[in-house]
Amino acid sequence: MKDLLVFAPEVEQALAANRPVVALESTIITHGMPYPQNLEVARRVEATVREAGATPATIAVIDGRIRIGLDDATLQGLAETPGAQVMKLSRADLAACLALGRTGATTVAATMICAHLAGIRTFATGGIGGVHRGAETSFDISADLHELARTPVTVVAAGAKAILDLPKTREVLETLGVPVIAFGQDALPAFWSRDSGLAAPLRMDDPAQIARAGLLRTDLGLSGGQLVVNPIPEADEIPRATMIPVVEQALAEAEAQGIAAKSVTPFLLQRIFELTRGRSLDANIALVLNNARLAARIAAAMA
Ligand code: PSU
Ligand code: MN
């Protein structure tokens, strides 16, 4: 198994010494944010993990090899490559990308799989995939939800974007037996806003409790990870009312253009960035950094 993975030296050393490591995904870089902000954010997230006392491991497939930790030149190359040229990898695509010798960015699902293979138990991202609006006809439910149910990694996110159906996403996570733990509040956060108007199923206020819950799931023989939903800092949040018309417009354009399958989430994210240029991106950056800090504290408690 391990020979399929290529470790960055600092990540390998940190894991060998049982020091905290935080996995980071790469689809947010290639399909989630525009260049050059994507590169700047990827670097700042890594720096934030380091400042918080953990080692960052950005995960991607480069020329058919799973890389656990990227050097800066590789990170830059990935950020500069147009998203259309990089495979978007979920559980279904990972082995195929290796067999084809291609380059691919890992979604939350694929990053969880690779992190688990590498022995990393904590992972920070921005938003997860979920149940799309209109899923009752489109059947569009992200594989991220099923991955959370089967792979033992603690994922720190800021909730799910309003492009998704939040009540249905919460229901599916409950059905799949995924703990959804709000950090420090009772409400489920909604990405750009701190409060979705829905209650979070679980709440914890201490990163050490979150770490312990993750380890106890494994001790209990429960497969699967846990989702930690961390509200965006107050100073950076955007009121829900501001985002609703933007999201509605992006969804209407996706429908009119017949966008389907893997293209749906990247299309919506890109249109929202274009429509709000500046504000939604600033909020997105702030919440990713905030998640990186919390993940580092959880990883330290687990190590
Ligand atoms: N949601 C965001 N930003 C993102 C993604 C989702 O707010 O960058 C990315 C993540 O990589 C996530 C993936 O795992 O999109 C989900 O894609 P899909 O909906 O096709 O499963
Ligand atoms: Mn989908």
Instruction: For residues 190-215, give the mean pLDDT.
Output: 97
Q: What is the pLDDT of residue 277?
A: 79
Q: How many domains does the chain have?
A: 1
Asked whether residue 71 is marked as a ligand-binding residue, the answer is: no
Atom of ligand 1 at shortest distance to CA of 32?
Answer: 8
CA 140 to ligand 2 center in whole angstroms: 5
Instruction: For residues 270-275, give the mean pLDDT.
Output: 92
**Eight-class DSSP state of 198:** S
Q: pTM of the entire structure? A: 0.97
Q: What is the pLDDT of residue 90?
A: 98
Taking the CB of residue 215, how many other CB atoms lie within 10 A of it?
Answer: 15
Q: What is the pLDDT of residue 1?
A: 59
Residue-wise pLDDT for 227-248, tens only, equals 999 999 999 999 888 999 999 9
Does 121 score more than 90 pLDDT? Answer: yes
Q: What is the pLDDT of residue 2?
A: 59
Instruction: For residues 116-125, give the mean pLDDT.
Output: 98
Choose which residue among 89, 91, 265 to substitute to test ligand 1 binding: the one with the highest number of ligand atoms within 8 A of its C-beta. Answer: 265
Q: What is the pLDDT of residue 254?
A: 96
Tell me the C-alpha to C-alpha distance, in Å, between residue 166 and each of 15, 186, 214. 36, 16, 24
Phi and psi at residue 289, in whole multiples of 5°?
-65, -40
Residue-wise pLDDT for 50-70, tens only, equals 999 999 999 999 999 999 999
Choose which residue among 25, 28, 166 to substitute to test ligand 1 binding: the one with the highest number of ligand atoms within 8 A of its C-beta. Answer: 28
CA distance 235 to 109: 30
CA 33 to ligand 2 center in whole angstroms: 18
CA distance 169 to 180: 11
Residue 144 contacts residue 107 (beta carbons within 8 Å): yes
- Give the ligand with the smallest distance to the CA of 128: 1
CA distance 300 to 291: 14
Q: What is the pLDDT of residue 162?
A: 85
Helix axes 166-175, 143-150, angle to 10 degrees: 30
Does 278 score more than 80 pLDDT? Answer: no
DSSP-derived 3-state class of residue 221: coil
Atom of ligand 1 at shortest distance to CA of 129?
Answer: 16
Of 248, 112, 137, 302, which is closest to residue 256 (Cα–Cα)?
Answer: 248
Asked whether residue 88 is marked as a ligand-binding residue, the answer is: yes
Q: Which member of 12, 25, 147, 237 is catalytic?
A: 25
Residue-wise pLDDT for 280-296, tens only, equals 999 999 999 999 999 99
Q: Which residues surround ligand 2, an ion (CB under 5 A)?
A: 140
Asked whether residue 144 is marked as a ligand-binding residue, the answer is: yes
Among protein residues, the one whose CA lies closest to atom 3 of ligand 1: 127
Within its chain, how far is the Cα of 23 from the centroid?
10
Which CATH number do you get for residue 232?
A: 3.40.1790.10
CA 31 to ligand 1 center in whole angstroms: 8
Asked whether residue 108 is marked as a ligand-binding residue, the answer is: yes
Q: What is the pLDDT of residue 36?
A: 96
Q: What is the pLDDT of residue 49?
A: 98
Q: What confidence category does residue 3 fall into, taking pLDDT thresholds of 50, 70 and 90?
A: confident
Q: What is the pLDDT of residue 240?
A: 87
197: which 2 tokens? 């108007």
CA distance 122 to 299: 6
Instruction: For residues 75-95, give the mean pLDDT.
Output: 96
Q: What percent of the chain has pLDDT over 90?
A: 94
242: which 2 tokens? 């501001």
Q: What is the pLDDT of residue 57?
A: 99
Q: What is the pLDDT of residue 104?
A: 98
With b for 16 or more beta-carbon neighbours within 10 A and e for fewer, the 222-241 pattern comes to: eebbbbbbbbbeeebbbebe
Q: Quick check: is 161 catalytic?
A: yes
30: which 2 tokens? 């290639």
Structural domain of residue 214, as residue ranges? Answer: 2-302
**Taking the C-alpha atoms of 26, 32, 33 and 35 in order, what is their torsion angle to the nearest 10 degrees?**
60
Q: What is the pLDDT of residue 224?
A: 97
